[in-house]
A and B are shown apart, each in its own frame.
Chain A
Amino acid sequence: MTPILSIQQLTAGIEEREILKGIDLVVNPGEVHAIMGPNGSGKSTLASVLAGREDYTVTGGSVTFMGKDLLEMAPEERAREGMFLAFQYPIEIPGVSTANFIKTAVGELRKHRGHDPLEPAAFLALMREKMKLVEMDSSFLNRSLNEGFSGGEKKRNEIFQMAMLEPTLAVLDETDSGLDIDALRIVAHGVNALRSPTNATVVITHYQRLLDYIVPDVVHVLWNGRIVRSGDKSLALELEKRGYDWIKNEAAVEA
């Protein structure tokens, strides 16, 4: 089985400062991986580097996505190849409706795959269906993307877009933060509904609570730019109980 994502000894940073200090991670089809870790440990940086953000310079290592060299690709190519990042802080685009934005994105994806654009009526129906999945009112489609959306609505909108784009690999960066209990359940339900044996999900989170809903196959702890521990679901429970200090100490001893 070829992995969906294979990261080897990845190092990256900004200017003089190294933030990722040698990441190894393999994600296979059908799997859910959770990445946890203290603030500032490099979780969002890892997500950004995978998505191709130019602020970060990759200084070493390799990333293979669906058998292709991911680091060679422009950010939009990565997206069209099936990489999706749900942003920790989704931005607002004034003047561009959510519908028009996602229509453009889906259009690019279909073009990349050699498919014709969807008929407007079919597309509208699809949007409505996916909006329902995250329990958003379809009136959001006519509003400017994320403009004036509440924090929770922005996060749901990320999952809506994910549902429309059906990525092979979805990286969710703290999609659960700022969600109330109901919204958390809704978002988790959306993510679970999109799971299949051919795609995979990486969830970055601080709370084991989310993992009650989206059950991970593997839990990783990222600290100081490295994955210092991996385990099954019980690792998350243990972290919840004991915090990060014991892991930091162990890692420090090993280093």
Chain B
Amino acid sequence: MNSEQSILDDVVGSEYKYGFTTDIEQELLPPGLNEDVVRFISAKKEEPEWMLEWRLKAFRQWQSMQEPVWPNVSYPKIDFQDIIYWAAPKKKDGPASLDEVDPELLATFEKLGIPLEEQKVLAGVAVDVVLDSVSVKTTFQDKLKELGIIFCPISEALRDHPELVRQYIGSVVPPSDNFYAALNSAVFSDGSFVYIPKGVRCPIELSTYFRINARNTGQFERTLIIADAGSYVSYLEGCTAPQRDENQLHAAVVELVAHERAEIKYSTVQNWFPGDKDGNGGIYNFVTKRGICEGAHSKISWTQVETGSAITWKYPSVVLKGDHSIGEFYSVAVTNNKQQADTGTKMLHVGKHTRSRIVSKGISAGVSQNSYRGLVKVLKVAEGARNFSQCDSLLIGDACGAHTFPYLEIANATATVEHEATTSKIGEDILFYCNQRGIDTESAVALIVNGYAREVLNQLPMEFAVEAQKLLAISLEGSVG
């Protein structure tokens, strides 16, 4: 702990000054955000000077920015000075294996039901767990290393591969992009870093389980994935959170870079605590996800199954820069009770003969509000661009709402753009028909919802598809009759 302490002293003067508290399990900063907090985090992570400067610049930008008000969601004003920006499990030297991990931590994992052990390992998944911001465990490192693949916490990448991080961080989502991206850039605690070398096909699904566990702690992960020319990677992100009664802010940034003929498949199953029936508690999920198809014939595909959070604000996007590049967005977003979701995608066509495909399936139940917001933008130079969008809404009951906001900005006459939209309702007629065949209402809803979402679920790797299917059913329990 000595080196840590000395850095602390160097940077923030004294422990007392900042009221730095250490309880058995956590190191916590007091709530609040200023430049010293940014410095503290950077020092904690033993970051290079340029990274600190980058963070500070982002922080200054953030200070001059306004929280966005355009999403179709409403929530009490967030006091950003009332959030704790640093909480980390107590760190000894980095554990090399599970045996070295704090048993307390393992017990928490157990409680959360993280299939960290055999199941996932047997399923061929390397797991990089982020618990309260710091990556604790990474498996399969060695196997990946053989192939030259880097899959590690971003803090570790900053130490071991600083040039790579420096080259790419903020290149897809610059800190100035939006309010939450700026905030994340200033205070991100950790996240994953992936680099796939030229021509390498990553043989396993890379998977990160994010968990939010500390009380009143904002979460600011940062993920950066680079697929070099001709490579392929499939990355899975899954989330659950224990029940709690205070709203929690989550503002992650994910950046993807696909070089020539590279393909990145990014799948998310998001199941954060949505709040209770009356909408108390629950996570505020304000995420910026963007990928760039940098090289010709590259491909980025986002798949998301969103069932959690009190509020979701999220638009995984693709910048189609390389000629003949492909962007895809497959989404199922479920809202129940008082949940609010404003989600969708942006496809920006820059290169020639670029193609994009959007399949969005919104499901609303209870008194929830579910909005799809999509932008397809074709630049003047994007000769022969094509887009297909399918936006479906499924309503369960009479009290919920579904809204679609499709925007098209087409500056090249050779573009082909197709948009289809449907709204359907699980009404009493359908439910009675199912009941009459011996299928109770809950099972009927699950059956219909899974059928409705199949096109998206099919995009997920097998084990995830099964989990996601269960999740859909669980999140809609009690939504009718």
How many Å lie between the Cα of A74 and that of B481 in the bound state?
A: 12
From known contacts A87-B433, A108-B443, infer whether A76 and B454 are also in contact, taking CB-CB under 8 Å.
Answer: no
Q: How far is the CB of B411 from chain A (nearest CB, A)?
A: 36
Known: A51-B432, A52-B436, A101-B437. 17 other contacts (CB 8 A): A54-B428, A54-B432, A75-B432, A76-B435, A76-B438, A76-B440, A76-B441, A79-B436, A79-B437, A85-B436, A91-B429, A93-B433, A95-B454, A96-B447, A100-B447, A100-B451, A112-B438
Q: How far is the CB of B113 from chain A (nearest CB, A)?
A: 26
Residues of A within 8 A of B433 (CB): 87, 90-91, 93
A165 located at the interface, meaning its Cβ lies under 8 Å from any Cβ of chain B in the complex: yes
Task: Please determine whether A95 and B448 come into contact, CB atoms closer than 8 angstroms.
Answer: yes
Residues of A within 8 A of B448 (CB): 93, 95-96
Q: B435's contact among A79, A94, A112, by CB below 8 Å, is which? A: A79
Task: Please determine whether A97 and B451 come into contact, CB atoms closer than 8 angstroms.
Answer: yes
B439 located at the interface, meaning its Cβ lies under 8 Å from any Cβ of chain A in the complex: yes
B interface residue numbers (CB < 8 A to A) = 424, 428-430, 432-441, 443, 447-448, 451-452, 454
Number of A-B residue pairs with CB-CB distance less than 8 Å in the complex they form: 72
How many Å lie between the Cα of A144 and that of B435 in the bound state?
A: 18
A161 located at the interface, meaning its Cβ lies under 8 Å from any Cβ of chain B in the complex: yes
Question: Majority SS of interface residues in chain B?
Answer: helix
Specify the chain A residue showing the minimal Cβ separation from B361.
A95
Specify the chain B residue showing the minimal Cβ separation from A85.
B436
Task: Report how many residues on chain A are interfacial, defined by Cβ distance under 8 Å.
Answer: 32
Residues of A within 8 A of B435 (CB): 52, 74-76, 79
How many Å lie between the Cα of A108 and that of B430 in the bound state?
A: 17
| 24 A-B contact pairs sorted by A residue (CB < 8 Å) | A52-B435, A54-B428, A74-B435, A76-B436, A79-B435, A79-B436, A79-B438, A80-B438, A84-B436, A93-B433, A93-B434, A94-B424, A95-B451, A96-B447, A96-B448, A96-B451, A97-B451, A100-B447, A100-B451, A101-B437, A105-B438, A108-B443, A112-B438, A165-B437
A interface residue numbers (CB < 8 A to B) = 51-55, 74-76, 78-80, 84-85, 87, 90-91, 93-97, 100-102, 104-105, 108-109, 112, 144, 161, 165
Residues of A within 8 A of B429 (CB): 91
How many Å lie between the Cα of A52 and that of B430 in the bound state?
A: 14
Residues of A within 8 A of B439 (CB): 76, 104-105, 108
How many Å lie between the Cα of A90 and that of B451 in the bound state?
A: 19
Task: Please determine whether A105 and B454 come into contact, CB atoms closer than 8 angstroms.
Answer: no
From known contacts A100-B447, A100-B451, A104-B443, infer whether A93 and B437 are also in contact, taking CB-CB under 8 Å.
Answer: no
How many Å lie between the Cα of A85 and that of B435 in the bound state?
A: 11
Q: How far is the CB of A94 from chain B (nearest CB, A)?
A: 6
Residues of A within 8 A of B451 (CB): 93-97, 100, 144
Residues of B within 8 A of A95 (CB): 448, 451-452, 454
